[in-house]
Amino acid sequence: MTNIDRFKSFHKAATENNKILGLDTRMAYIIDQLREKIHLPNPKDDENIRVYYRLAKTCTFCDTDYYIYEREFMENRITYRELKKNQENHVVLTNFNKLMELVYIQPEKADYIYSSSEHFLEGDGNKEKRTVLENWLNHFRIQLHKAHCSGHMSKKDLEHAIKEIKPDILIPVHTQNPKEFKKIHSNVLIPEREEEIEI
């Protein structure tokens, strides 16, 4: 899953602090596909974005090392070599599965902003992944910072938000009880699986 709001927040923060935001090729592709529909920057030529290319196949960063969709961003690429030399001017938006890239980047005095849902860092079910994350960060002396808002709220807070916002239509998503919204709003559209909703 890709969080576009997280991307927008990191892009804004990087831009306001004169930093370059590094995106992996998957994220760059998703942003590129959505940019005209929801007004996002172009990862191919935005001056505050570079697309991070990991080592692959031949270890030479040639285009045939990568999937066809990844090749679109080669002109705006950044590799571990450039990041390693110029760490203070970059912010890299990455995920748990890309932690191995730290071996190549060799970060110094780095910070890791954990902005995914808190449940990943809590609970017995995530102990192994949490330990892996902590080990990587400890190995490179990277400071962990948590910055996340899950979007979950109490029923009372939800009712208050709906009254304040006064939406014309309410489309409940990520909820176990979508029909409950009909008790607090007169125009509720409950989405059906694989059904397109035009707004």
Domain parsing of the chain, residue ranges: 4-108, 153-199
Q: In this prediction, what percent of the chain has a pLDDT beyond 70?
A: 93
Given pLDDT bands bounded at 50, 70 and 90, which one contains residue 104?
A: very high
Read off the tokens for 99.
């932690």
Residue 1, pLDDT > 60, answer no
SS3 (DSSP) at 181: helix
48 in Cβ contact with 19 (< 8 Å):
yes
Q: How far apart are CA 70 and CA 44, in angstroms?
A: 11
User: How far is it, in rounded angstroms, from Cα 97 to Cα 95?
Assistant: 5
Please report the pLDDT score of residue 5 as a whole number.
86
Q: Provide the H-helix boundaries in 39-174.
A: 68-71, 80-85, 102-105, 127-139, 155-165
Region 118-123: what's the mean pLDDT?
65
Look up the pTM and report it.
0.74
With 80 as the cut, is the pLDDT of residue 103 above it?
yes
DSSP E strands, the chain: 20-24, 49-52, 77-78, 90-93, 111-114, 143-146
